[in-house]
Copies of this chain bind each other. A is one copy, B any other.
Amino acid sequence: MDNRHPASWVNGEPASEVLISDRGLAYGDGVFETIRVQAGAPTLFDLHCKRLCSGMAVLGIPFDLEAFKNEVSDFLQTQNLKEGVLKAIVTRGTGGRGYNPQGCDRPCRILSFHSLPVYPGNPAIRGVRLHQCNTRLGDNAFAGLKHLNRLENVMARSEWQGTDCLEGLLLGMDDRLVEGTMSNLFLVSGKTLRTPCLRKSGVKGVCRDLIMGQARQWGFHVETGDYHLKDLAGADEVFVCNSVNGVWPVIACGCLHWSVGSVTRTVRGRVQEVLNA
Protein backbone atom coordinates (compact mmCIF):
# COMPACT_ATOMS: atom_id res chain seq x y z
CA MET A 1 0.00 0.00 0.00
CA ASP A 2 1.61 3.22 -1.13
CA ASN A 3 0.37 5.81 1.35
CA ARG A 4 1.09 8.70 -1.00
CA HIS A 5 -1.55 7.32 -3.34
CA PRO A 6 -4.04 5.68 -1.05
CA ALA A 7 -6.81 3.53 -2.42
CA SER A 8 -9.90 5.66 -2.59
CA TRP A 9 -13.46 5.58 -3.81
CA VAL A 10 -15.91 8.40 -4.32
CA ASN A 11 -19.54 7.32 -4.38
CA GLY A 12 -18.60 3.72 -4.91
CA GLU A 13 -16.17 4.25 -7.81
CA PRO A 14 -12.37 4.46 -7.75
CA ALA A 15 -11.58 8.18 -7.68
CA SER A 16 -9.30 10.58 -5.89
CA GLU A 17 -11.16 13.86 -6.45
CA VAL A 18 -14.43 15.52 -5.56
CA LEU A 19 -16.25 18.39 -7.20
CA ILE A 20 -15.23 21.84 -6.01
CA SER A 21 -18.95 22.51 -5.50
CA ASP A 22 -19.10 19.80 -2.83
CA ARG A 23 -20.44 21.29 0.37
CA GLY A 24 -17.91 19.34 2.40
CA LEU A 25 -15.25 21.59 0.90
CA ALA A 26 -17.34 24.75 0.81
CA TYR A 27 -18.64 24.66 4.38
CA GLY A 28 -17.43 21.53 6.13
CA ASP A 29 -20.99 20.33 5.64
CA GLY A 30 -20.54 16.67 6.49
CA VAL A 31 -18.98 14.21 8.89
CA PHE A 32 -16.18 11.67 8.91
CA GLU A 33 -14.99 8.54 10.65
CA THR A 34 -11.47 7.22 11.02
CA ILE A 35 -11.70 3.48 11.40
CA ARG A 36 -9.02 0.96 12.22
CA VAL A 37 -9.02 -1.99 9.88
CA GLN A 38 -7.70 -5.27 11.26
CA ALA A 39 -7.62 -8.58 9.39
CA GLY A 40 -9.60 -6.95 6.58
CA ALA A 41 -12.47 -5.87 8.82
CA PRO A 42 -13.38 -2.45 10.24
CA THR A 43 -13.07 -2.52 14.04
CA LEU A 44 -15.67 -0.98 16.35
CA PHE A 45 -17.75 -0.59 13.21
CA ASP A 46 -21.12 -0.52 14.95
CA LEU A 47 -20.01 2.38 17.13
CA HIS A 48 -18.56 4.23 14.15
CA CYS A 49 -21.81 3.70 12.22
CA LYS A 50 -23.85 4.86 15.19
CA ARG A 51 -21.93 8.13 15.41
CA LEU A 52 -22.05 8.60 11.65
CA CYS A 53 -25.83 8.19 11.73
CA SER A 54 -26.17 10.64 14.64
CA GLY A 55 -24.22 13.18 12.65
CA MET A 56 -26.30 12.65 9.53
CA ALA A 57 -29.48 13.00 11.59
CA VAL A 58 -28.38 16.26 13.25
CA LEU A 59 -27.25 17.73 9.93
CA GLY A 60 -30.38 16.47 8.16
CA ILE A 61 -28.45 14.59 5.50
CA PRO A 62 -30.24 11.52 4.09
CA PHE A 63 -28.11 8.45 4.63
CA ASP A 64 -28.50 4.79 3.75
CA LEU A 65 -26.54 2.98 6.42
CA GLU A 66 -26.91 -0.50 4.93
CA ALA A 67 -25.63 0.69 1.55
CA PHE A 68 -22.72 2.39 3.33
CA LYS A 69 -21.83 -0.78 5.21
CA ASN A 70 -21.89 -2.78 1.99
CA GLU A 71 -19.75 -0.20 0.26
CA VAL A 72 -17.16 -0.29 3.03
CA SER A 73 -17.10 -4.03 2.86
CA ASP A 74 -16.69 -4.02 -0.94
CA PHE A 75 -14.00 -1.34 -0.72
CA LEU A 76 -11.90 -3.40 1.68
CA GLN A 77 -12.50 -6.76 0.00
CA THR A 78 -12.07 -5.89 -3.66
CA GLN A 79 -8.76 -4.21 -2.93
CA ASN A 80 -7.68 -6.73 -0.35
CA LEU A 81 -7.07 -4.07 2.30
CA LYS A 82 -6.15 -5.88 5.48
CA GLU A 83 -4.59 -3.59 8.05
CA GLY A 84 -4.62 0.17 8.24
CA VAL A 85 -6.95 3.10 8.63
CA LEU A 86 -10.12 3.59 6.66
CA LYS A 87 -11.20 7.19 6.48
CA ALA A 88 -14.84 7.67 5.52
CA ILE A 89 -16.17 11.14 4.76
CA VAL A 90 -19.84 11.71 4.03
CA THR A 91 -20.78 15.20 2.87
CA ARG A 92 -24.13 16.72 1.95
CA GLY A 93 -22.98 16.56 -1.67
CA THR A 94 -22.94 19.28 -4.27
CA GLY A 95 -25.14 22.30 -4.20
CA GLY A 96 -25.38 25.83 -5.46
CA ARG A 97 -23.43 28.69 -3.95
CA GLY A 98 -25.00 29.71 -0.66
CA TYR A 99 -25.55 28.15 2.74
CA ASN A 100 -29.08 26.91 2.12
CA PRO A 101 -28.88 23.13 1.88
CA GLN A 102 -32.33 22.77 0.32
CA GLY A 103 -32.28 20.45 -2.66
CA CYS A 104 -28.93 18.92 -1.75
CA ASP A 105 -30.12 15.41 -1.15
CA ARG A 106 -27.42 13.29 -2.74
CA PRO A 107 -24.70 12.90 -0.13
CA CYS A 108 -21.16 12.26 -1.29
CA ARG A 109 -19.33 9.24 0.16
CA ILE A 110 -15.55 9.27 0.17
CA LEU A 111 -13.52 6.28 1.31
CA SER A 112 -9.74 6.25 1.54
CA PHE A 113 -7.27 3.80 3.02
CA HIS A 114 -4.06 4.71 4.81
CA SER A 115 -1.30 2.89 6.65
CA LEU A 116 -1.52 2.72 10.41
CA PRO A 117 0.24 5.74 11.89
CA VAL A 118 3.62 5.00 13.45
CA TYR A 119 4.69 6.83 16.61
CA PRO A 120 8.11 6.75 18.21
CA GLY A 121 8.81 5.50 21.72
CA ASN A 122 6.04 2.91 22.12
CA PRO A 123 3.48 5.37 23.49
CA ALA A 124 0.87 2.73 24.39
CA ILE A 125 3.32 1.15 26.83
CA ARG A 126 5.55 3.97 27.97
CA GLY A 127 2.96 6.72 27.85
CA VAL A 128 2.96 10.16 26.27
CA ARG A 129 3.50 13.76 27.24
CA LEU A 130 0.71 16.22 26.46
CA HIS A 131 1.25 19.71 25.12
CA GLN A 132 -1.25 22.05 26.77
CA CYS A 133 -2.73 23.89 23.79
CA ASN A 134 -3.31 27.63 23.75
CA THR A 135 -6.04 27.18 21.17
CA ARG A 136 -9.32 26.85 23.03
CA LEU A 137 -12.35 24.89 21.90
CA GLY A 138 -15.43 27.06 21.57
CA ASP A 139 -18.82 25.83 22.73
CA ASN A 140 -20.86 24.93 19.69
CA ALA A 141 -24.20 23.58 18.62
CA PHE A 142 -22.72 20.39 17.18
CA ALA A 143 -20.71 19.17 20.15
CA GLY A 144 -20.03 15.46 20.15
CA LEU A 145 -20.25 14.99 16.38
CA LYS A 146 -17.23 14.26 14.22
CA HIS A 147 -18.15 16.87 11.63
CA LEU A 148 -15.80 18.41 9.08
CA ASN A 149 -15.41 21.77 10.89
CA ARG A 150 -12.09 20.94 12.52
CA LEU A 151 -10.06 24.11 12.26
CA GLU A 152 -9.68 24.26 16.04
CA ASN A 153 -8.06 20.82 16.04
CA VAL A 154 -5.75 21.77 13.17
CA MET A 155 -4.60 24.97 14.83
CA ALA A 156 -4.19 23.28 18.21
CA ARG A 157 -2.12 20.52 16.58
CA SER A 158 0.04 23.10 14.82
CA GLU A 159 1.18 24.52 18.17
CA TRP A 160 3.95 22.00 18.62
CA GLN A 161 6.15 19.81 16.45
CA GLY A 162 8.67 17.11 17.24
CA THR A 163 8.02 13.96 19.22
CA ASP A 164 8.43 15.11 22.79
CA CYS A 165 4.67 15.52 22.99
CA LEU A 166 2.52 13.16 20.93
CA GLU A 167 -0.80 14.71 21.86
CA GLY A 168 -2.18 18.05 22.99
CA LEU A 169 -4.65 18.87 25.73
CA LEU A 170 -7.56 21.07 24.69
CA LEU A 171 -9.46 23.22 27.14
CA GLY A 172 -12.73 25.04 26.61
CA MET A 173 -12.86 28.81 26.76
CA ASP A 174 -14.00 28.55 30.38
CA ASP A 175 -10.92 26.40 31.28
CA ARG A 176 -12.90 23.17 31.25
CA LEU A 177 -10.92 20.09 30.21
CA VAL A 178 -12.35 18.85 26.92
CA GLU A 179 -10.18 16.36 25.01
CA GLY A 180 -6.97 15.74 23.11
CA THR A 181 -6.54 17.05 19.57
CA MET A 182 -7.22 13.54 18.22
CA SER A 183 -8.31 11.61 21.29
CA ASN A 184 -10.53 11.68 24.36
CA LEU A 185 -9.31 12.19 27.88
CA PHE A 186 -9.86 10.08 30.99
CA LEU A 187 -8.83 10.85 34.56
CA VAL A 188 -8.53 7.88 36.89
CA SER A 189 -9.30 8.13 40.61
CA GLY A 190 -9.29 4.77 42.37
CA LYS A 191 -11.63 2.61 40.31
CA THR A 192 -13.42 5.58 38.79
CA LEU A 193 -12.84 6.73 35.21
CA ARG A 194 -13.80 10.38 34.72
CA THR A 195 -14.20 11.85 31.26
CA PRO A 196 -15.43 15.31 30.17
CA CYS A 197 -19.12 15.22 29.26
CA LEU A 198 -18.69 16.94 25.84
CA ARG A 199 -22.12 18.52 25.99
CA LYS A 200 -20.76 21.82 24.69
CA SER A 201 -17.66 20.96 22.65
CA GLY A 202 -15.44 18.11 21.61
CA VAL A 203 -15.91 14.87 19.72
CA LYS A 204 -17.55 11.86 21.33
CA GLY A 205 -14.93 9.34 20.36
CA VAL A 206 -15.76 5.76 19.52
CA CYS A 207 -13.06 4.42 21.84
CA ARG A 208 -14.46 6.61 24.62
CA ASP A 209 -17.87 5.11 23.86
CA LEU A 210 -16.45 1.61 24.05
CA ILE A 211 -14.79 2.30 27.39
CA MET A 212 -17.90 3.94 28.81
CA GLY A 213 -20.02 0.99 27.71
CA GLN A 214 -17.67 -1.71 28.99
CA ALA A 215 -16.16 -0.15 32.10
CA ARG A 216 -18.55 -1.78 34.55
CA GLN A 217 -17.75 -5.23 33.16
CA TRP A 218 -14.06 -4.44 33.51
CA GLY A 219 -14.52 -3.53 37.17
CA PHE A 220 -14.62 0.24 36.89
CA HIS A 221 -17.11 3.01 37.35
CA VAL A 222 -17.47 5.84 34.80
CA GLU A 223 -18.41 9.43 35.56
CA THR A 224 -18.87 12.25 33.08
CA GLY A 225 -18.83 15.89 34.10
CA ASP A 226 -17.06 19.21 33.89
CA TYR A 227 -13.45 18.84 35.03
CA HIS A 228 -10.64 21.33 35.30
CA LEU A 229 -6.85 21.44 35.57
CA LYS A 230 -7.08 20.90 39.33
CA ASP A 231 -8.89 17.62 38.64
CA LEU A 232 -6.16 16.67 36.18
CA ALA A 233 -3.55 17.50 38.82
CA GLY A 234 -5.37 15.36 41.37
CA ALA A 235 -5.87 12.29 39.16
CA ASP A 236 -4.14 9.03 40.08
CA GLU A 237 -3.66 8.18 36.42
CA VAL A 238 -4.49 9.87 33.14
CA PHE A 239 -4.97 8.39 29.69
CA VAL A 240 -6.11 9.40 26.23
CA CYS A 241 -7.75 7.10 23.71
CA ASN A 242 -8.93 6.88 20.16
CA SER A 243 -10.16 4.13 17.91
CA VAL A 244 -6.99 3.92 15.83
CA ASN A 245 -4.29 4.02 18.52
CA GLY A 246 -6.24 2.58 21.42
CA VAL A 247 -5.23 3.79 24.87
CA TRP A 248 -2.14 5.87 25.56
CA PRO A 249 -1.17 6.44 29.19
CA VAL A 250 -0.38 10.10 29.89
CA ILE A 251 2.83 10.57 31.88
CA ALA A 252 3.12 14.35 31.80
CA CYS A 253 1.37 17.58 30.96
CA GLY A 254 3.35 20.73 31.68
CA CYS A 255 4.66 20.37 35.24
CA LEU A 256 2.26 17.53 36.10
CA HIS A 257 3.51 13.94 36.09
CA TRP A 258 1.89 10.53 36.42
CA SER A 259 3.04 6.93 36.29
CA VAL A 260 1.57 4.37 33.93
CA GLY A 261 -0.89 2.86 36.37
CA SER A 262 -2.71 -0.42 36.71
CA VAL A 263 -6.15 0.89 35.79
CA THR A 264 -4.83 2.41 32.58
CA ARG A 265 -2.98 -0.83 31.78
CA THR A 266 -6.15 -2.82 32.24
CA VAL A 267 -8.24 -0.51 30.08
CA ARG A 268 -5.51 -0.42 27.45
CA GLY A 269 -5.39 -4.20 27.33
CA ARG A 270 -9.16 -4.56 27.05
CA VAL A 271 -9.36 -1.98 24.28
CA GLN A 272 -6.44 -3.61 22.48
CA GLU A 273 -8.25 -6.95 22.52
CA VAL A 274 -11.15 -5.31 20.71
CA LEU A 275 -8.97 -3.46 18.19
CA ASN A 276 -6.96 -6.60 17.46
CA ALA A 277 -9.95 -8.94 17.44
Contacts and interface: CB of A to CB of B under 8 A. Distances in A.
Interface in A141-165: 141-142, 147-158, 161
A182 interface: yes
A97 B138 CA distance: 24
A89 interface: yes
A34 interface: yes
A121 interface: no
Contacts of A141: 135-136, 138, 152, 155
When all copies of this chain in the complex are counted, the total is: 2
A29 B148 CA distance: 9
Given A17-B17, A181-B99, A25 B27 contact: no
B150 A99 contact: yes
B110 A97 contact: no
Contact of A22 (B25, B32, B152): B25
Given A20-B110, A59-B155, A136-B141, A148 B98 contact: no
Contacts of A19: 16-17
A34 B10 CA distance: 27
A13 interface: no
A24 B91 CA distance: 13
Contact of A28 (B59, B142, B149, B201): B149
A181 to B, nearest CB: 6
Contacts of A156: 99
A112 B20 contact: yes
Interface in A35-64: 59-60
A151 B147 contact: yes
A26 interface: yes
A158 to B, nearest CB: 5
A122 interface: no
Contacts of A23: 154
A114 to B, nearest CB: 5
* Nearest 5 pairs of A and B residues by beta carbon: A138-B140, A28-B28, A149-B149, A17-B17, A99-B157
Given A17-B17, A29-B150, A29-B151, 6 more contacts: A18-B18, A20-B112, A34-B97, A59-B154, A92-B154, A99-B181
Interface of A: 3, 6, 8, 10, 15-29, 32, 34, 59-60, 85, 87, 89, 91-92, 96-102, 110, 112, 114, 117, 135-136, 138-142, 147-158, 161, 173, 181-182, 201
